[in-house]
């Protein structure tokens, strides 16, 4: 068994050996606690039959645990300076492929086809760079990749929003977009002290398990998300006011909006945060004929 990368001493050694300095712009915070990493891989439910996709491996702290517990790992790293470091730290493992690309621009589906052929069970497991967490998760879900789910470390506040239930402060259009595709649960919170350098925010691990069917059948998914975003534009406003001000020609079509709300059984004086995904689904189908561009 090789010495864990994720200890303060070993991390410092690796960074000094390679003369590496952290880039604020890339949101680099490396994990230095092996127990946390073991917990993440446990929550991801990995086995040698599983392939893991990692985003932002850093110096390989989590990658190493993924390599030990899964069959194959593909890790996307945007920072060119980390590629030689990863080649060094991960040299004991022959089941890791590092892709030097921005995952937001990468063709993840074709990389899965070439690198992970033969794996039925694929899980995304990562300590995500906090400034691009949401776009990364949405991309992975909207591209309909053949994955079982996503288990990632992120800013606790974003985790709260992703897993929030209707009627709570954290609930919003992000909760709806992600819970439409997955079942979301926060599985652990993580103290700042397990990172180098320490971030200014609290962290959490969230597990998203892909649904085989969405919680509500709608005629147009994009329009569902348009309606939910519009409904949360100003949280204190009623759903009628938000839809009137946000939908194209909403003011002229106020009667049609009222009609759709009534058809969907939604009281126009309610606020967006009180509606469940199912209610948003019914409402977006009722609005669709009059507002689809």
Q: Which residues are annotated as a binding site for S-adenosyl-L-methionine?
A: 29, 31, 56, 77, 102, 127
Please give the Cα distance from 199 to 205 (Å, whole number).
15
CA separation (Å) from 111 to 47, 114, 145, 152, 285? 21, 5, 11, 20, 36
Q: Which residues line the annotated binding site?
A: 29, 31, 56, 77, 102, 127
Instruction: Give percent helix, percent strand, percent coil of the chain, each to the nearest 5.
Output: 45, 20, 40
What's the longest Cα–Cα distance across the chain? 69
Please give the Cα distance from 103 to 75 (Å, whole number).
9
Please answer whether residues 177 and 163 qualify as being in contact, where contact means their C-beta atoms are separated by less than 8 angstroms: no
Please give the Cα distance from 79 to 81 (Å, whole number).
5
Please give the Cα distance from 124 to 187 (Å, whole number).
15
Q: How many residues does the chain have?
A: 293
Please give the Cα distance from 189 to 13 (Å, whole number).
28
Of 34, 39, 38, 27, nearest in space to 11 by CA = 34
In this structure, what are the phi and psi dihedrals at residue 285, rounded to the nearest 5 degrees? -65, -35
């Amino acid at each position: 068994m090789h010495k864990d990368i994720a200890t303060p001493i070993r991390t410092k050694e690796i960074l000094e050996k390679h003369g590496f300095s952290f880039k604020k712009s890339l949101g680099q915070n490396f994990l230095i606690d092996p127990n946390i990493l073991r917990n993440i891989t446990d929550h991801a439910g990995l086995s040698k039959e599983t392939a893991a996709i990692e985003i932002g491996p850093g110096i390989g702290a989590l990658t190493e645990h993924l390599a030990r517990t899964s069959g194959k790992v593909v890790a996307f790293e945007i920072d060119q300076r980390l590629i030689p470091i990863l080649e060094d730290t991960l040299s004991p493992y022959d089941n890791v492929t590092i892709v030097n690309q921005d995952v937001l621009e990468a063709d993840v589906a074709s990389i899965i086809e070439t690198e992970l052929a033969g794996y039925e069970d694929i899980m995304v497991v990562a300590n995500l760079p906090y400034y691009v967490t949401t776009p990364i998760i949405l991309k992975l879900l909207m591209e309909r990749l053949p994955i079982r789910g996503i288990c990632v470390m992120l800013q606790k506040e974003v985790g709260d929003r992703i897993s929030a239930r209707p009627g709570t402060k954290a609930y919003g259009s992000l909760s709806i977009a992600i819970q439409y595709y997955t079942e979301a649960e926060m599985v652990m919170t993580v103290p700042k002290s397990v990172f180098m350098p320490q971030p200014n925010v609290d962290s959490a691990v969230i597990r998203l398990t892909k649904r085989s069917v969405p919680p509500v059948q709608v005629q147009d998914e994009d329009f569902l998300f348009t309606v939910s975003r519009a409904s949360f534009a100003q949280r204190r406003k009623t759903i009628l006011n938000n839809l009137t001000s946000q939908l194209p020609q909403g003011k002229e079509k106020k009667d049609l909006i009222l009609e759709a709300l009534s058809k969907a059984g939604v009281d126009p004086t309610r606020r967006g945060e009180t509606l469940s995904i199912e209610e948003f689904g019914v409402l977006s189908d009722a609005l669709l004929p009059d507002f689809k561009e």
